[in-house]
Chains A and B, each alone.
Chain A
Amino acid sequence: MSRAETVSASVQPRPLWTLGLFRDELRTTFRRWRTLALLGVLAAVPVLVGTAVRIETGDGSSGGGGGGGPAFVSQITNNGLFLVFTALAATLPFFLPMAVGVVAGDAVAGEAGSGTLRYLLVAPAGRTRLLLTKYATVMVFCLAATLVVAVSALAVGALLFPLGDLTTISGTRITFGEGLVRALLIALVVAASLLGVAALGLFVSTLTDSGIAAMATTVGLLITVQILDQIPQLHVLHPYLFSHHWLSFADLMREPVHWEDLTKNLGLQVLYAAVFGSAAWARFTTRDVTA
């Protein structure tokens, strides 16, 4: 028996075994103190918003006096469920993508910085498999972060305000049960809205051996994009900025639902994931690992 035969004969990767890395990656990510701190901050946002609204309207007068504040804020006193929408609208522009940027930016660069990347690669994790595992884990984190905000908001809303049937933006009434379904849908859409940032962060993460640098760059890019989106003279660029259609999730509260901006948003996220995912793959599978 030749040596080559013995090598291939004893190595039989099983499809299920390959998922072991993903399970372990999830465990490792969610056991990090930093991840838990990020989720803690996100959980605190609805508490702050809910308490502020409660204090503001404690004297019995309804509504905060029209206008200002995140979407749906004036509705909260009527129905605690609206705190879910308000909290998501308040965290989506910055807190949520920042948390995702931190986790995605650190995904590969952090491993490279601590030297654990070389041991994962000689294990051998396989570069494509490792990158897919990292992206899948960041996607799970997007969902977890969004759900943390939503669940915390629902709990605070139920505690501080009445619950019941609710009025959509279009003025029709829906039952509380249907409202919950809409809230879940909105959470899923918000989570999906973060996939573009996640892919961008992962790409940045493959460029450097410093986790901090990758996190800072990703969050910096996020802020830059948010600013660019506010400059009217750059309106030609706006439809291509990953954050441009983020707040379209409110259209899920219309009757019937307005799908146009929602699909634009999801399409844009898929585009970002494809472009930066490919770039991350091209970079990561060919780079020299010297850290």
Chain B
Amino acid sequence: MDGTSATEQTREGRSTGDAVVVTRGLTKRYRGGQLAVDDLNLTVPAGSVFGFLGPNGSGKTTTIRMLMGLIEPTSGTAHVLGRPMPRSARAVLPHVGALIEGPALYGFLSGRDNLLRYDAADPTADPRTRTSRVAAALDRVGLTTASGKKARAYSLGMKQRLGLAAALLRPRRLLVLDEPTNGLDPQGMREIRALVRELATDGTTVFLSSHLLDEIEQVCTHVAVMARGRLITQGPVAELAAGARGRLLVTTPDASDAARVLKEQGLADVVAEGDRVSAEPPARDLAEVNAALVAAGVRVRGFGVERASLEDVFVALTGEGFDVAG
């Protein structure tokens, strides 16, 4: 858990630094008239691991594409590393590594040759260090032994890793990772999370879009939530989670007795479900509540406050689950 504490330090140390991504009134209306992104004001602090959340079709990818200069905004501005996009793309993008909507590879080239090609596309990348940088990137994502294989023979997880390697070809100041753990096995997911933390410790700002809420919760310091093209909220994860209160959870075979005791103790919103009884935690010491339960002869298996998850926060904010926006 060293990585986590280091990330915390980074966040504290840099929270006053200027923003890496700033958008003002950013709007994209596609030719069909569909409003994909609506008046977006996003601020990504330097040094943060910024989680970008939203249901499918909420405008996350369109936003990322505008930040990367692939799409021209209909109105509004986007600044990346202090420069306007897409106008300053050639000055900004060498400092940005990106994984957008999954990896895209040349199937007939080996993994290594794919990276050599992407590196050659960057006119500011030194060709003299190209092979060594490619080797280092392959090593970083654990693909060294598979680097000679044709990319079309790669599994989805290997392709994802190769896409990540392409984003890591040079030291970056900003990493934009769109669903980076897609298609990875649990071990691979852990590795990627560790990698994100490591990069953040080195001072790289990571902009991470994901639909896996616990993933965002585990690695992100800041979070923004989008729905139907609009930004619903943004801020430090801790602040958001603090907004939604946790619940007291008691696990017991004597559920009905437990519920009665909790009500007697003055707890609100008591819900009994099977052998689990939950309630809003009281302001006073929880030890007294537990003592009351035991004194009433309730056999307690588990007792504690369940922290509000980001999912609870999300549902509280949007009033919807993670369904595709209609």
Contact = CB atoms under 8 A, between A and B. Distances in A.
Given A7-B95, A31-B109, A122-B98, A21 B123 contact: yes
B70 interface: yes
Interface in B166-191: 166
Given A7-B92, A28-B109, A121 B123 contact: no
Interface residues of A, number: 38
Interface stretch (B114-122, B224-232, B265-273): B114-122
A288 interface: yes
B95 A122 contact: no
- Which residue, A4, A12, A119, A123, has most C-beta atoms of chain B within 10 A? A123
A33 B108 contact: yes
Contact of B106 (A12, A28, A286): A28
B70 A122 contact: yes
A10 B116 CA distance: 21
Contacts of A18: 123
B118 A13 contact: no
B37 to A, nearest CB: 13
Contact of B71 (A11, A129, A290): A290
B71 A20 contact: no
Contacts of B118: 119-120, 123
Given A12-B124, A121-B70, A122-B100, A290 B82 contact: no
Contacts of B109: 28, 31
A69 interface: no
B199 interface: no
A8 B91 contact: yes
Nearest to B98: A122
A213 interface: no
A122 B96 contact: yes
A64 B120 CA distance: 53
Contacts of B69: 121-122, 124
B68 A2 contact: no
A116 B104 contact: yes
Contacts of B211: none
- Which residue, A8, A121, A129, has most C-beta atoms of chain B within 10 A? A121
Nearest to B96: A122
Interface string B199-221: 00000000000000000000000
Given A24-B120, A123-B118, A124-B89, A116 B70 contact: no
Given A122-B70, A122-B93, A124-B93, A21 B120 contact: yes
Contacts of B119: 123
Contact of B122 (A2, A8, A118, A123): A123
Contact of A13 (B81, B96, B107, B124): B124
Interface in A126-160: 126, 129-130
A23 interface: yes
A290 B102 CA distance: 13
Contact of A288 (B70, B105, B121): B70
B286 interface: no
Contact of B121 (A4, A13, A21, A286): A21
Interface in A236-291: 286, 288-290
Contacts of B104: 114-116, 118-119
Contact of A24 (B18, B101, B117): B117
B108 A32 contact: yes
Contacts of A28: 106, 109, 117
B142 interface: no
Contact of B70 (A118, A126, A286): A118
A118 B124 CA distance: 18
Nearest to A117: B104
B317 interface: no
B83 interface: yes
A21 B122 CA distance: 8
A24 B120 CA distance: 7
Interface of A: 2-4, 7-8, 10-14, 17-18, 20-21, 23-24, 28, 31-33, 114-116, 118-126, 129-130, 286, 288-290
Interface of B: 18, 65, 68-72, 81-83, 88-96, 98, 100-102, 104-109, 116-127, 163, 166
Given A28-B109, A122-B98, A124-B89, 6 more contacts: A4-B83, A11-B124, A17-B126, A122-B93, A123-B121, A288-B70
19 contacts: A11-B124, A12-B124, A17-B123, A20-B123, A21-B121, A24-B117, A24-B120, A28-B106, A31-B108, A114-B104, A115-B101, A116-B105, A118-B70, A118-B100, A122-B70, A122-B96, A124-B94, A124-B121, A288-B70
Closest 4 CB pairs of A and B: A115-B104, A123-B121, A124-B93, A3-B82
